[in-house]
Amino acid sequence: MTNNTLSQHIQRFYDENTGFFLTLGHSSEGSIHRAIWAYGVSSRAEALHYIDDKICKLLLDNNYSSEPHIVDLGCGVASSLCYIESQFSVTGLGITLSEKQCKLAEQRIKKQGYSKKLQCIQSDFCKLPKDLQKADLAFSIESFVHAQSAGAFFHQASSLVKPGGLLVICDDFLTDEDLSHDKKAAYWLERFQEGWVINSLLSNEQVNKYATQAGFKKIESQNLTPYLEINRPRDYFISLLVRVLNKFSLKNPYLQMLYGGDALQKCLSKQWINYEFKVWQKLND
């Protein structure tokens, strides 16, 4: 499949599923990512903004001499950007492949009164427009795994982030890059990739290699898997449904999402995949 066709698949997946994510999913916060029930988290809203809060902390820890500029690579409907803006004064840009998300993001930004500070564009983070303002911090929450090319993602991030600036990725990573030789693991990993249109499912070693080649130094890596919701009653129900429908699920965007989500639950519970929060710093050019 060419990179253009892959982009079209991802765009269609989000154009068609964003309404479901925001209504049938578990997010009243506009977040299209998982809730993190870490120690001290006491409400769903806090769990959904856990990663956003970690990004706020990174911004706070850096003594910027002027308002920092941040870029959300794969911004959904700009929920993270709006939340961060509510906690810490920034200027920000959101990038999404989905036209539908881009419109919803602009509406959210306007509704929250941030039109002068935040903006969203429909673009590909593997092929960014040339004239973008350099970022003090760029982040990617559950979007890196979609990258048609991990090398292109890091190359673009490297051009975007200022020397000394930060790149944050919170996403799923393989616990072992040789899992493809394990028949059972390979079966479930493939279902996850098919269902959620995943193109860059990498191990820690692989992702660090791309980051280093693009001029980034590793700062932090935290495994958040223990704080995810796995094997809830609704997950058993979905699992049953998906196993009955099997590949037929792939014909419908909502069922396709359930098919991928079910496989992901299996991969997380078997520890074939970990959900990790990672931070790199851009070295001087």
Ligand X SMILES: C[S@@+](CC[C@H](N)C(=O)[O-])C[C@H]1O[C@@H](n2cnc3c(N)ncnc32)[C@H](O)[C@@H]1O
For the chain, the first-to-last Cα distance in angstroms comes to 34
Contacting residue, 75, 82, 93, 198, with ligand X by CB under 6 A = 75
Q: Between 182 and 227, whose beta carbon lies closer to ligand X?
A: 227
Contacting residue, 55, 126, 138, 169, with ligand X by CB under 6 A = 126
String of contacts with ligand X for each residue 15-34, x by CB under 6 A: ----------------xxx-
Among 58-66, 96-104, 155-163, 222-230, which window interacts with ligand X (CB under 6 A)?
Answer: 96-104
Pinpoint the alpha helices (H) of the chain.
3-23, 44-48, 50-61, 79-87, 99-111, 150-160, 183-195, 204-213, 233-245, 253-269
String of contacts with ligand X for each residue 99-118, x by CB under 6 A: --x-----------------
DSSP state of 97: S
What's the closest the beta carbon of residue 99 comes to ligand X, in angstroms? 10
172 and 275 Cβ atoms separated by less than 8 Å? yes
What's the closest the beta carbon of residue 98 comes to ligand X, in angstroms? 4
Contacting residue, 74, 195, 215, 261, with ligand X by CB under 6 A = 74
Contacting residue, 17, 91, 143, 249, with ligand X by CB under 6 A = 143
Dihedral of alpha carbons 102, 106, 111, 113, sign: positive
107 and 80 Cβ atoms separated by less than 8 Å? no
263 and 191 Cβ atoms separated by less than 8 Å? yes
CA distances from 73 to 23, 92, 124, 170, 226 (A): 23, 11, 9, 11, 25
Contacting residue, 17, 96, 225, 265, with ligand X by CB under 6 A = 96
Contacting residue, 125, 210, 216, 259, with ligand X by CB under 6 A = 125
Q: Please tell me the distance from the alpha carbon of residue 48 to that of residue 28, in angstroms, as a whole number.
A: 9
Give one DSSP letter per residue of 256-284, joined into a string: HHHHHHHHHHHHHHTTSEEEEEEEEEEPP
Site residue total, ligand X (CB under 6 A): 24
What's the closest the beta carbon of residue 162 comes to ligand X, in angstroms? 21
State phi, psi for 2 to the nearest 5 degrees: -75, 165
What's the closest the beta carbon of residue 271 comes to ligand X, in angstroms? 22
**Under rule CB under 6 A, residue 142 binds ligand X:** yes
Residues of this chain that interact with ligand X (CB under 6 A) are 7, 10, 14, 31-33, 74-76, 79-80, 95-98, 101, 124-126, 141-143, 146-147
